[in-house]
Structure 1
Amino acid sequence: ALAIEVLSPKLYKYPVKLDELRRIIPGFNPPLSFRELSETEPLYRLIIRKLRRL
């Protein structure tokens, strides 16, 4: 499993479409699945605590 912590997310005025991303980054493939974690979830706290020890 892999998790990426996003520290300063930005909300764009318009969504960036997959074909636009692939034009900028040839061969780009989005993750096959994802799940957003709330800071209040025990899993979130567990993952962040372990990552910060690295």
Structure 2
Amino acid sequence: MNELALKYGCNPNQKPSRIYMEEGELPIEVLNGRPGYINFLDALNGWQLV
């Protein structure tokens, strides 16, 4: 998977966004649900604490 569609932005009426890598696979695995932009910010900032 090198592209992942995100759920809506901060407002449900916004168009969905995508994250992608031009080469290779995304270094993440979604276990449950459909993540949004804020979910990725939380995860990436939380990972810095580990």
Q: Which has the higher helix share?
A: 1
**TM-score when normalising by structure 1:** 0.28
Q: Which has the higher contact order (CA 8 A, sep 6+)?
A: 2
Q: Which has the larger radius of gyration?
A: 1
